[in-house]
Structure 1
């Protein structure tokens, strides 16, 4: 029999699961149908579609983990189930982060304007740069998943020791080593986040530079470039905000066994972590002209509901 806490938890994760699948499924459906019709797809739409697919899989993993957490904590923490969830979560999580990083770099190189030779060299080769980044993202996601092998070996030692009840100093050392590996594994997120932050800073600087030029020329109305800058900045900034929440509560999940009422802490952490793949999918929809216009056609609303007439579009 489920208690009130478990029931509320299930309602929240089911709601987020449905919303996330609707948002990400909408992106895949619109971009996929457009790809099939025209036999071509822009690099930005390709990345956004891949991002939606990876986040759909991530949502399924988090949802299944949440169901086990609500109904059977023993099955969830058993060796095989934990390892399967860890493998799929690690791969999709890192792939998702690298894909949004590739999107940030693409926006930065296409929209920002600088005269530095290195930036111009990258800007002229933007497609090749991003494609190589995508290949690197796939390889790095595989590498981070393979790195779980050592973690699983330590976990099997811990499980064997716990089953015999022989809790020795060696056991405690292995437990600390296991926890440390879990925390250090989070450092794999640092490189893509640094690249995304650099793209965000460059876009901010480019926007300020563009505003100064507009003021110098005496132009008052907002132009295409300024709108593109602002839209890209919103997408990257929302990613940082949602990912920081996601990462914070992921760390709390890792340390939950040391906190009072660990199961409730895990449930709260699970709900918060699902906000990232759910929330950012809708940010991407509203930040893409084609997706936004399709959404407006499906759900007509009063003037000003979705700010019609926006010109920023990153799917070129």
Structure 2
């Protein structure tokens, strides 16, 4: 049963890797080509491109971890270079989450409409706000990666002790210390979650006010501002739910050595973990007019309904 699960694990990992590479690679190619043509790039395109690059790196790290766990699980368990890979994964993981959060904040500042002085001050300085958020994202990602160094020695000691069945009083103390450090490290995810949730709430409130104004003026409810609100809300909400599933999978993988079927729990956790970087790219494509138009044109060309270089069905 476990052998069949490992084969399915590798197959699904390869599938998610291919899907993620296609989606994120498509985003990177389209935005970089547009950047070279126009000699400039917007903040949203820059963040989306950086997000796609970080998720490509994250996908490869997760995929190599999946394959090594299936093929060389016992041989790689004691290799110290894995600690360096874990630190690099932590940095890329946090950076990816922060970039998605920065994108949600950017959408909120550009689309939402409020008369509060603080919001107006941020809205008028949106470029400066995004720039400082990106710098803060790098610092937070670096800090989270450095904090992992304190946790790794205890983690490897606990895994070796639990595998040997040597549960002693010292093991209990080490377990308590590891859980404390692990909980503190999980707090690094709190700021992006709060900002993501705040952006979503502000967009919902702004959309409600806008719809009320449209009803009072008896205008059409499907104007450009309403569609922009709804599109941004769908992007932020989908990212929020994917992030929650991602945290759940990460927790399963981190504590898998304590479960009765630790290897099966690790397999399930790793597959759910790969789902976020693989699927989020397609949500971004469907939520971005330029990416969606190029994607539809590419599909039409592949199906033979559109000649290369001609205008697509979504072109103005």
Q: Distance in 1 between matches of 2:41 and 2:53?
A: 16
Deviation at 1:183, TM superposition (A): 3.6
Residue in 1 aligned with 2:65? 65
Residue in 2 aligned with 1:253? 253
Residue in 1 aligned with 2:309? none
Q: Distance in 2 between matches of 1:239 and 1:164?
A: 40
Residue in 2 aligned with 1:11? 11
Deviation at 1:257, TM superposition (A): 1.7
Q: Is the 8 A contact 2:203 2:229 kept in 1?
A: yes
Residue in 2 aligned with 1:53? 53
Residue in 2 aligned with 1:294? 294
Residue in 1 aligned with 2:308? none
Q: Is the 8 A contact 1:105 1:196 kept in 2?
A: yes
Q: Which deviates further from its counterpart, 172-181 or 100-109?
A: 172-181
Q: Is the 8 A contact 1:65 1:76 kept in 2?
A: no
Deviation at 1:161, TM superposition (A): 7.1
Q: Is the 8 A contact 1:183 1:251 kept in 2?
A: no
Give the 4+ runs in structure 1 shifted more than 4 A.
Answer: 155-168, 308-311
Count the aligned residue pairs. Answer: 305
Q: Is the 8 A contact 2:250 2:269 kept in 1?
A: yes
Matches within 5 A, 1:52-201: 52-155=52-155, 168-201=168-201
Q: Distance in 1 between matches of 2:254 and 2:88?
A: 17
Q: Distance in 2 between matches of 1:149 and 1:108?
A: 35
Change over 3 Å in CA distance of 1:138–1:67 after alignment to 2: same
Q: Which deviates further from its counterpart, 152-161 or 227-236?
A: 152-161
Q: Distance in 1 between matches of 2:188 and 2:59?
A: 20
- Deviation by residue 1:159-208 (Cα, 9 ceiling, x = unmatched): 88789997642233113322432243122101111011001000000000
Change over 3 Å in CA distance of 1:310–1:297 after alignment to 2: closer
TM, length-normalised to structure 1: 0.90
Residue in 1 aligned with 2:230? 230
- 1:208 paired with 2:212, answer no
Q: Distance in 2 between matches of 1:235 and 1:284?
A: 7
- 1:20 paired with 2:20, answer yes
- Deviation by residue 1:242-298 (Cα, 9 ceiling, x = unmatched): 111111111111221222211011101111111111111100011111111110110
TM, length-normalised to structure 2: 0.90
Q: Distance in 1 between matches of 2:201 and 2:162?
A: 49
Q: CA RMSD in A?
A: 2.3
Q: Is the 8 A contact 1:28 1:52 kept in 2?
A: yes
Change over 3 Å in CA distance of 1:161–1:270 after alignment to 2: closer
- Deviation by residue 1:116-170 (Cα, 9 ceiling, x = unmatched): 0000000000010010000010011011111122113434665887899976422
Deviation at 1:10, TM superposition (A): 0.5
Task: Report SS of the residue matched to 2:40.
Answer: coil
Change over 3 Å in CA distance of 1:297–1:175 after alignment to 2: same
